[in-house]
Chains A and B, each alone.
Chain A
Amino acid sequence: MTFVLRMVWRETRASWARLLFFFLCAALGVAAIVVLRSVVQNVRITLTREARSLVGADIVLQAPRPWSDDARGRIAAGIAGVVVRARTEVVETQTMVRAAIDPNAPVKLIELRGVEAGFPFYGAIELSDGKQYTHHLVRNHGLVVHEDLLADLGLQVGDALAIAGETFEIRASFTRDRVQQATGLQLGPRVYIDLADLRATTLLARGSRAAHEILLRVDEPDIDATTTRLRHLLRNDVASVRSWMTLEDRLGRNLTLAENYLSLVGFAMVVLGGLGVWSVTRVLVQEKVRSVAILKCLGASARAILAIYVLQVLLMAAAASGMGVGLAAIAAGAIPPDVIKPLGVSSVTITASAAAQGASVGLLVSLLFAVVPLLDMRRVKPLRLLRADVGAEATRRRDWAGWLIGAAVGALLVGVAAWQANSLRAGLYVTAGLAAVGLLLALASRIVVRLVAPLAASRQFAIRHAVLGLSRPGNQTRVILMAVGLGAFFVLTVRALQVNLLADLDEQLGSNLPDLVLVDVQPDQLSGVQAALGAHARRPPSLNPHLRARIVAVNGRRQALADLDAVRKVGPLAREFALTYRDALEPNERVVAGQFWSGRQTSVASAEDADAEVSMAEDLRDDAKLDLGDVITFDIAGRRLRARVTSLRNVAWGNEQNGGFVFVLRPSAAVEALPQNFLAFVQLQDGSSSRNAVQRALVSAYPNVTIIDVRDIIGRLREVVDNVALGVTIVGLVTLVSGTLILIGAVAMTRFQRLYESAIYRTLGASTRRVVMLVAVEYGVLGFGAGAVGAVGALALSWTLARFLFDLTWRPATGLLLGGLAATTLLVMVVGVVISLDVVIRKPLSTLRGEA
């Protein structure tokens, strides 16, 4: 053992710098795992600590409609016997506001939250002036608004806002309200108002969109049982009951999932680093063949020799993992607070468990990738010290033990991936995916080498020898093509996809997409709204009746949704649907079965008369097993409507201009008499003055109508696309850096071979310039190959994703891909020449005398 340890020290002393370079690639992957896991764990620690504040109460009951007396009775029964420490109600809705002082001031969509005294039970509304929030601030027409709103409208505390035709005073602004985090997309800044004042406005008129909540504070031991009881009692209402504990569970589950999947990104990078480790170990084994033979001659056993090099690899991998953790600490410290603020944390500290996981993965993957090439050392015959041709004879035999260990290494890699994803299936998929990408890249590399092979007959010295160099024995061509190609592939795919997504957004903006969507237009407001739009509209607005319905029976069979399980079984039918009625198809629809009606249905005067006609999106046929001829009974705000499915439509959801409805009813007197409001899609004359004027006019006349500025939303979507693309690009760039490190390492590892060749060329009369040209052409060809592999891969994957995942019209992003190809060629060429420069300028004699 002492001998083994001493040899490890001696071997490491001689080549640690060269070897560690390769292990740096693994260090980058380790750093990625540690940073990603730490970010998620930091978020989890903060969120779990604040779960109660996020829910704002111990138990929250929420419904899309005002609580009926019947429902209130059941709630009372549910909490009977439980000590309710406090109870309060909250109503949330959206509306448009403007400065009260100026009827022509710009308007803004806000999230309005009506609260009572006692709110919030937990959490805090952090006021900009540092003072404590109290209900007095909102009582009697007061408002507490998010400071973004003040900035957006150019207002300050003390100014007044017009909401639903009434004037409210802004009494304070807040920077952050860590209370009841809204789920889904928040459309505007939040404003707090007294619930009594909100109820006195017209905003909560029948049919308006609002969330009605009852918040309860109960003793901790009662929370679970009370939540379960209330859920049971409200099982037939469209209502949800949640507690901070369930939120904690859900957050915990989601975050664990996020952490595990993000770690797979890091794992993929460690595997790329592993590729570098594999490559360096292969070269190491080639270099050490003579030393191994000598050691065997001197009496060392194959096991002892293998132990020396495995321990050396372990030492390097441990150093690299340590470096990875260090890099992660530096990277975590360098994350700008603005980037992680939306996640609810202000800084990221490396957690011990993330560091331990990252380091273990780095160590394991490095070792696994090194073991297979190291196994070749067992087969080195000491006889080769006497006869050089012995190696070839020995490698001809099949090495079953090697194959077995290779298979075990593969299985262990799946194990590490499964451990990272916390799912065997995900582990299998990721490893299989990586193996497939690796195989494809290896195949592509082989094709590239084959394609340039004819250039070996070129009349140009540099081209001829550069191409010959690519197929030199023991060369790193395939490793460089794979590593750099993979990096280029990642970056180019993401960028190509981003180009496609943004171009699609632009196309939608330039097409028939509405500028404004008006929600909740009441039937009696239709003519008024049309008049208000007047000359501002480019064409008459498209008005779509909008009915909210639940399916209560199919073919007379009642949908009994007694509990959560029943809802799950019914699946897609359990939700609330938006219905409309019209007598024509939209451009994004086509009938795939049955026949779409023409004209009104005159036979149905009232809902009880006969079955109405309904056309259904074909998606539901597969999802819910509904089909042509089925009779569906809808409950629309307490009114029943039976409708027979007479046609199935294919709806291009990504292209919907007038909403896109799953169910479309045939117009009839009965249908038109149902409770409904209208959605209006408005296209305006060009220019922002038109948009502001229309919004102002509508807000003052119809405060209940919510106006969604589509351009605003698209702008926000564009930001989301940009941010996601930036995130993925960073991962891609880190991969490219890994690839470049592997490239630098690979060039450095083959330096000795190149040194000798260069010395021979120069002895034979080649000038330094000619040798530099030769190196430049060789790496230029390699870089072009890697860039081509990346660009073609990006072309294929961006097409697949655009076509099947995002449903976009694919654009090849030719300029981007050509730019990427040129950049990759240049990168590899420059790195190759710079790293080989000392080889080229060294005096040939010292090399030939073996002093190198």
Chain B
Amino acid sequence: MIDLVDVSRTVPSGAGPLTILHPTSLSIARGRVVAITGASGSGKSTLLGLIAGLDAPTSGRIVIDGTDITAISEDALARLRGEKIGIIFQFFHLLPSLTAFENVLVPMEIAGVADAAARANQLLAEVGLQARGHHYPSQLSGGEQQRVAIARALSNDPAIVLADEPTGNLDSTTGRQVIDLLVNVSRQRGRTLLLVTHDPALADVADDQVQLRDGRIVS
């Protein structure tokens, strides 16, 4: 499903090139829930960004469902994300000028899905927010915003869901609820879930764990 072959990432910095991800190879099978753990600055988010096609590796290949995403254009990458990858961020990143319902709707509109409105309502119901669909992000609590983000990430029924510290901005109770929701929904649908977290307790819900330290996989 996801194959990384000798993928590295180096960025320019004041003191010369800085390698934030050393050559790494990794293979994740379909339907697995994988937690990527590590301390701040260990390269977790960089790895996630590379898998999402949000960033380009300095070297190596990334193959998503048979497609080498290091060899395709920005617009093709955007299409791929729209069809196969759902992303959930620590800071939710909902569109502030759109209601919760519209936020869930947008990926389906981009992909040209036919019964988008019905599906958006269904997804909101699944995350327990059917009654809040007409609210703007600023009118929702952090937990509610993250649940909208989960519904949005699942809207095109992607094969892969990537979550970057999805509970990092929530209190522990709400965080736990969000993780349970995310893992349950992914398992029910047989989706591959990559969960970036620095919380070992949250990582325990995963089938596999990948631990990073200083840009290298240590376990």
Contacts and interface: CB of A to CB of B under 8 A. Distances in A.
Given A298-B81, A302-B74, A850-B138, A386 B45 contact: yes
Contacts of B188: none
A393 B26 CA distance: 28
Nearest to B165: A386
Contact of B102 (A10, A302, A386): A10
Interface in A364-382: 381-382
A304 B112 CA distance: 13
A303 B79 CA distance: 12
Nearest to B89: A385
B109 interface: yes
B55 interface: yes
B7 interface: no
A297 B54 contact: yes
Given A10-B98, A301-B78, A387 B106 contact: no
A290 B109 contact: no
B97 interface: yes
B122 to A, nearest CB: 18
B51 to A, nearest CB: 11
Nearest to A849: B138
Interface in B137-186: 138, 152, 156, 164
Given A10-B98, A13-B97, A298 B54 contact: no
Nearest to A294: B93
A2 interface: yes
Interface in B80-109: 80-83, 87, 89, 91, 93-98, 102, 106-107, 109
A519 B82 CA distance: 91
A15 interface: yes
Contact of B106 (A290, A298, A383, A393): A298
B95 A6 contact: no
Contacts of B45: 386-387
A300 interface: yes
A299 B111 contact: yes
Contacts of B91: 385
B81 A297 contact: yes
Given A383-B55, A387-B45, A298 B110 contact: yes
A15 B97 contact: yes
B96 A291 contact: yes
A838 interface: no
B83 A299 contact: yes
Contacts of A385: 54, 89, 91, 93
B194 to A, nearest CB: 13
A79 B102 CA distance: 84
Contacts of B60: none
Contacts of B12: 393
Contacts of A301: 75, 78-79
A297 B49 contact: no
A386 B164 contact: yes
Nearest to B152: A298
A387 B52 contact: no
Contact of B49 (A3, A299, A303, A386): A386
A295 interface: yes
A10 B97 contact: yes
Contact of A382 (B48, B54, B83, B94): B54
A851 interface: yes
A74 interface: no
B87 A297 contact: yes
Interface string A277-305: 00000000000001101111111111110
Interface residues of B, number: 37
A299 B78 contact: yes
Contact of A387 (B49, B74, B80, B97): B49
Nearest to A301: B75
A294 B95 contact: yes
**Is chain A's interface secondary structure helix, strand, loop, or mixed overall?**
helix
A267 to B, nearest CB: 34
A510 to B, nearest CB: 68
Contact of A299 (B55, B82, B94, B98): B82
Most B CB contacts (10 A, CB to CB) among A2, A14, A382, A393 go to A382
Interface string B38-66: 00000001101100101100000000000
A152 interface: no
Contacts of B80: 299
Contact of A2 (B79, B89, B109): B109
A608 interface: no
B19 to A, nearest CB: 15
A630 interface: no
A279 to B, nearest CB: 20
Contacts of A14: 96-97
Nearest to A292: B95
- Name the residue in A10, A303, A851 with the highest tally of chain B Cβ atoms < 10 Å from its Cβ: A10
Nearest to A6: B109
Contacts of A295: 95, 106, 110
A296 B49 contact: no
Contact of A303 (B54, B75, B156): B75
Contacts of B95: 291, 294-295
A301 B112 CA distance: 13
Contacts of B82: 298-300
- The residue among B78, B102, B112 with the most chain A CB atoms within 10 A of its own CB is B78
A11 interface: yes
Interface in A515-554: none
Contacts of A851: 138
A3 to B, nearest CB: 4
A443 B54 CA distance: 40
B102 A299 contact: no
Contacts of A293: 93
B94 to A, nearest CB: 8
Given A10-B102, A297-B52, A850-B138, A3 B110 contact: yes
Contacts of A296: 78
A299 B79 contact: yes
B54 A381 contact: yes
A299 B107 contact: yes
Contacts of B89: 385-386
Nearest to B20: A387
Interface string A7-32: 10011011100000000000000000
Nearest to B139: A851
Contacts of A386: 45-46, 48-49, 54-55, 89, 164
Contacts of A300: 78, 82, 110
Contacts of B96: 14, 291
Contacts of A297: 52, 54, 81, 87, 93
Contacts of B164: 386
B195 to A, nearest CB: 15
A3 B156 CA distance: 15
Nearest to B81: A299
Contacts of A13: 97
A124 B152 CA distance: 79
Contacts of B87: 297
Interface string A390-407: 000100000000000000
Given A294-B93, A297-B87, A302 B54 contact: no
Nearest to B82: A299
Candidate in A15, A290, A294, A297 with the most chain B CB atoms within 10 angstroms:
A297
Nearest to B98: A10
B140 to A, nearest CB: 12
Contacts of A10: 97-98, 102
B107 A291 contact: no
A302 B75 contact: yes
10 closest cross-chain pairs (CB), A and B: A299-B82, A14-B97, A3-B109, A383-B54, A301-B75, A298-B107, A383-B55, A382-B54, A299-B110, A386-B49
Given A10-B102, A11-B97, A298-B82, 4 more contacts: A3-B109, A10-B97, A385-B89, A393-B11
14 contacts: A6-B109, A7-B106, A10-B102, A290-B93, A297-B54, A299-B78, A299-B156, A300-B110, A301-B75, A301-B78, A381-B55, A382-B54, A383-B54, A386-B89
